[in-house]
Structure 1
């Protein structure tokens, strides 16, 4: 399996442009929503959190139909100074 995404970009006239990349971001509600493939056939979606942000972004995925889902971005207040509950992982963007 490849970790490359094949993208099809379409403008308002319906003209399509094909390209590929490893990772792509969409600016959505003022946040970068990143999409990438993990090499095992799964699609990873995440929201970048900047140092000092007062809120965390939560992504909510809800089924709408057999082949359609709704993705919602909700902001939750960050608990400043409460690092004991944070679990460091490969995607937490901390230097460790």
Structure 2
């Protein structure tokens, strides 16, 4: 299984550009919303800024034809006891 995402970007005039990436971000209300594939799920996470005590990830999982599961995970921002720093790359 590949972690590549196939994107179709469309301008206001309807011109489409197809591309492939491993993750992408949308800047919304001054925050980066990162989208990436992780273990067959679509992970949507908000970039952590200084002063944030936690961050949220949305996990979208395919269930069956035309059905998906959406799960919200809240994680503490900063380092874990083992020194792991949470961020968009850690797939949590």
User: Is TM more than 0.5 here?
Assistant: yes
The answer to whether the aligner puts 1:9 opposite 2:9 as a matched pair is yes
* Whole-angstrom CA distance in 2 between matches of 1:7 and 1:91: 28
Flag structure 1 segments of 5+ consecutive residues without an equivalent: 61-65, 68-82
The correspondence for 2:86, drawn from 74, 77, 92, is: 92
C-alpha RMSD of the superposition: 3.1
CA gap 1:58/1:28 in 2 versus in 1, 3 angstroms: same
CA gap 1:23/1:10 in 2 versus in 1, 3 angstroms: same
Flag structure 2 segments of 5+ consecutive residues without an equivalent: 59-65, 68-75, 88-92
User: 2:31 maps to what in 1?
Assistant: 31
**How does 1:14-93 map onto structure 2 within 5 Å?**
14-38=14-38, 40-50=39-49, 52-53=50-51, 56=54, 58=56, 88=80, 92-93=86-87
Normalized per residue, which structure has more strand? 2
Offset of residue 92 of structure 1: 1.3
Structure whose alpha-carbon radius of gyration is higher: 1
Q: Which TM-score applies when normalising by structure 2? A: 0.58
* Whole-angstrom CA distance in 1 between matches of 2:10 and 2:40: 24
Q: Which TM-score applies when normalising by structure 1? A: 0.56
